[in-house]
Amino acid sequence: MMNEYPGIRLNDFVIKIGTVNGTGSASANELLMKTIFRMGVPVVGKNIFPSNIQGLPTWYEIRVTGDGHAGRSGDVDIMVAMNPESYERDLNSISSGGVLIYDSTWPRPHFMNRSDITVIGIPLSSLCNAEFEVARSRILMKNMAYVGAVAAIIGLDMSIIQNLINETFEKKKKLIPANIKAVDLGFNYINDNKLNNKKFFIKALNKTSNKIMIDGNTAAGLGAVYAGATFGSWYPITPSTSLMDSFSKYCNIYRKHPKTNENLYCIIQAEDELSAAGMAMGAAWNGARAFTPTSGAGISLMSEFIGFAYYAEVGLVYFDIQRVGPSTGMPTRTQQCDINLTAYASHGDTKHIVLYPAHPGECFTMSAQAFDLAERFQTPVFFLSDLDIGMNDWMVDELEWEENYTPDRGKIMTSKQLADIEVYSRYLDIDGDYIPYRTLPGTDPKGAYFLRGSGHNKYGKYTEISAEYKEVVDRLLLKWKSAAPFTPQPIVFKSQKKTNYGVIAIGSSDGAVREACINLEKQGVYIDYMRIRSFPFADSVEEFIIEHDLVFIVEQNRDAQLMNLLLTETNVPRENLVSVKYYAGQPLNYKFVYEALFKEIMANSKNKKTA
């Protein structure tokens, strides 16, 4: 597309705002992002925040991407530096040719040390101190003032900003004039002092129609409601708590008795993660669609009940919103470090169904799929998201739901069916599909059985006989394998030319990997890409690897967990796989992937020529 603004970066740059946690900047940053979105320009927002409540540095990154990319770019073009503690880091992070905006109420001569960037000083504190009397208001309004300054610099539509302020404070209308005034302070200062250097500009497009901005936890909670979940138990833990907040919010709207307004759902905050897992398992055994949201640390604590549910064949959903480990780790940073944990959670021989959503749109649909799979296969199902997907706002297609959806509740024996048989045996594989029939408590005394996590045979009776024990656990393995065709299948993006190179990723790595492949292709380097969406792996995963001489496994952890899982669960040769690992805790950016793949491919090509 021809640039109508020569010398100006149009709809393709990154704004980063550095502030102090707890100073109310979140609303201002969201206002900027939503304004760009409503101008029809695709946008990506990433919140990088500390685990304390107040006082430490926090950043918000807004990527303006007219081409609609979903990942981070790895650059910073406009830096709004509002936190003296992080000034040095913020200054050094700016790409050459970028812009630094700072509060010049207090002179910062060292900001002039970089001749390759433009420095714009705005006396934000002085401007706000002159207009607002209350100390807290001055802090909050300073954030809105930098919104106005950025709006002037990149050409945002002020009428959209005003409309968004009116919407935001619709229930607190007295706050509207002050916020609009603060935005105007920053906007007018830039224009009155002719500080707009016109390096970066937003031109309105029409690329956000039929799109929404939503985070993964909100979408997953809503998906659970649509799937028919009626029970949730949890112990609060970052970054999964907002998933239960979402479920609670939408249950309060959609899970009420139409006449009495009574709750048709149950949410329990447990005393710890183990209790939450036990409650959810008990509810699922009683016939409710049940789940518990947590993170990796919580999964570790839940492992005893996870094994119990696996062995006793009770279907429920575990939402694992991954964060940086081990131990407490960095609770507000993102990783893909629970891949092995969820695949084999609990002691003994266990294998679980795991779903890998890549964005909030899939969080909505896969949330529902998780419940169907859990009840169909009578087993725990893990929904493996991460902080980046769960807590950041993503631009996705409007959520759609199949109006004729009927929950797949699996094989449940009714009272009529019970009456037609002589004896009910809980773990007897009648149909030869490895899935026994379950009964719901209260259906009929004939369907009663003792739920046990100790050794049991196919009739549900206690046993320590080796052959009887082995018969049950062997069937569990076959049942797990049989789930592969029913889980979300991999998506393959073929390059424009036939290639011997492939790349595999899961979850939130998708946006960065896809953009890296696009840019590699521009350099004449062709690579096929497969995004795996579930475990057990589909047969097509092994076929994809075998079809290529070299396959790069891109993942966000130190120990190459996805690659090792592929080596364990497929018959692919180790020499075909190359690990590309990123585990710094921030969302993956495409330049890291691009550079890693380009370096490996060039080295491989050189070795072939030498040979």
Q: What is the pLDDT of residues 419-433, one digit of tens each?
A: 999 999 999 999 999
Which pLDDT band holds residue 610 (cuts at 50, 70, 90)? Answer: low
Arithmetic mean of pLDDT, 92-98: 96
Arithmetic mean of pLDDT, 89-96: 95
Question: Angle at CA 174, nearest 5°, toward 184 and 60?
Answer: 55
Q: Hey, which CATH number is domain 9-209, 3.40.920.10, 2.60.120.10, 3.40.50.1950, 2.60.40.420?
A: 3.40.920.10
Determine the pLDDT at residue 606. 74
Determine the pLDDT at residue 1. 44
The two beta strands, 290-294 and 231-234, are: parallel
Determine the pLDDT at residue 4. 63
CB burial string 151-160: b at 16+ within 10 A, e below: bbbbbbeeeb
Determine the pLDDT at residue 111. 78
Arithmetic mean of pLDDT, 90-115: 91
pLDDT at 563 over 60: yes
Residues 405, 351, 452, 321, CA torsion sign: negative
Q: CB of 322 within 8 A of CB of 583?
A: no
- pTM comes to 0.96
More confident: 610 or 445: 445
Arithmetic mean of pLDDT, 223-235: 98
pLDDT at 5 over 80: no
Determine the pLDDT at residue 360. 98
Share of the chain above pLDDT 70, in %: 98
pLDDT digit string, tens, across residues 8-26 = 999 999 999 999 988 889 9
Specify the DSSP element, H or E, that contains 361. helix 360-376
Q: Does the N-terminal peptide bond of residue 239 adopt cis geometry, omega within 30 degrees of 0? A: yes
Mean pLDDT of the chain: 95
Q: CB of 35 within 8 A of CB of 164?
A: yes
CATH 3.40.50.970 in the chain is located at 214-397
Tokens of 78: 């406009």
Arithmetic mean of pLDDT, 185-205: 94
pLDDT at 405 over 70: yes
- What is the distance between the alpha carbons of residues 525 and 67, in angstroms, rounded to a whole number? 20
pLDDT at 261 over 70: yes
Q: CB of 531 within 8 A of CB of 502?
A: no
Arithmetic mean of pLDDT, 514-535: 97
Q: 87-96, 105-114, 145-154, 515-524 — which is least confidently predicted?
A: 105-114
Arithmetic mean of pLDDT, 572-577: 95
- What is the distance between the alpha carbons of residues 475 and 457, in angstroms, rounded to a whole number? 11
Provide the CATH topology of domain 491-610.
Answer: Rossmann fold (3.40.50)
pLDDT at 288 over 60: yes
Arithmetic mean of pLDDT, 63-80: 96
Arithmetic mean of pLDDT, 33-47: 97
Which pLDDT band holds residue 194 (cuts at 50, 70, 90)? Answer: very high
Backbone phi and psi for residue 238, each to the nearest 5 degrees, phi listed first: -70, 135
Residues 442, 443, 449, 450, CA torsion sign: negative
pLDDT at 471 over 50: yes
Arithmetic mean of pLDDT, 399-418: 96
What is the number of alpha carbons within 13 Å of residue 412 lying toward its C-beta? 21
CATH 3.40.50.920 in the chain is located at 491-610
User: CATH homologous superfamily for 214-397?
Assistant: Thiamin diphosphate (ThDP)-binding fold, Pyr/PP domains (3.40.50.970)
Which pLDDT band holds residue 112 (cuts at 50, 70, 90)? Answer: confident
Residues 441, 443, 448, 451, CA torsion sign: negative
Determine the pLDDT at residue 605. 81
- What is the distance between the alpha carbons of residues 540 and 484, in angstroms, rounded to a whole number? 11
Which pLDDT band holds residue 533 (cuts at 50, 70, 90)? Answer: very high
Q: Which among 416, 397, 358, 410 is positioned nearest to 587, based on CA atoms?
A: 358
Determine the pLDDT at residue 160. 98
Number of H helices, E strands in the chain: 19, 22
Arithmetic mean of pLDDT, 337-354: 97
